[in-house]
Amino acid sequence: MKAYVFPGQGAQFPGMGKDLYEKHPLARELFETANRLLNFRITDIMFEGSDDDLRQTKVTQPAVFLHSVVSARTLGDDFHPEMVAGHSLGEFSALVAAGALSFEDGLLLVYKRALAMQKAGEQNPGTMAAILNLPDEKVEEICAEVDEIVVPANYNCPGQVVISGAVGGVDAACERMLAAGAKRALKLKVGGAFHSPLMAPAKEELEKAIHAATFGTPVCPVFQNVGASGETDPARIKNNLIAQLTAPVKWTQSVRNMIAAGADDFTELGPGNVLHGLIRKISGDVSVN
């Protein structure tokens, strides 16, 4: 069965989407629609901006979403998903690609989400770190032992879990992870403690916007980050999207459940190929392209 997956924040790179804009009239139309809806020329930043320009959360999220959705739309009749999933922000791309959400509503929700997360990161400063080669259970155990806020945020693949929380909490957890045998505890350059309780103010803001948006039934199951299961009910999809901001991204579990549901051919749509490597580490028995 054919599955399409969509990356999240961190997949961006300078020049992203320029080839699509130049080659496809439909891509050009979608990019220009985005420029109008956002009230700034995001294409200028995507095509000509620097790494730092693209790293601003308010730019990164709509830029990755745009690249991903445009990539799906330009496949035309060749796009036949039997299931979809997206990593964090990529869940919005997946929902638009699967027809549960319009391009316009998806873009505006992503932009509101980005602004709300950036604001929450300023209100409640925090950080994230990637923990390598430590069992998930050990990561969870150490996070629970630290007095300050620190939680597992992204279950990316076996042996790679990202933790998130207050700076002191993440630092203390990193020390303990290394002492427990982690190969690395790598601090990430991020604008906040994403997928942690510190994103609660952003969750409140996004909740209103999500409830105000129109969601329909997707053409195929959407494996969402919060529950790692395939969803088609619009009400459940909405609730999971809201919960996602402060809950962990269960990517390992989602991919395993997609495979259990019959997925054997994964295609990543969006900038870069971050998810390629993660899926291959989760299972060596599926095709990934």
Query: Would you please indicate which residues are annotated as catalytic (active-site) residues?
Result: 88, 195
Q: What are phi and psi of 154, to 5 degrees?
A: -135, 115
The answer to whether 54 and 63 have CB atoms below 8 angstroms apart is yes
| Residue carrying structure tokens 């899926």 | 279
Helix axes 234-244, 90-97, angle to 10 degrees: 160
Instruction: Find the DSSP H helices in 49-89.
Output: 51-55, 57-73
Beta-sheet pairing, 150-157 with 160-165: antiparallel
Instruction: Find the DSSP H helices in 74-165.
Output: 90-97, 103-123, 136-145
What is the SS3 string spanning 171-203?
A: HHHHHHHHHCCCCEEEECCCCCCCCCHHHHHHH
Strands lying side by side in the sheet with 127-132: 150-157, 160-165, 127-132, 184-187
> What distance lies between CA 7 and its chain's CA centroid?
6
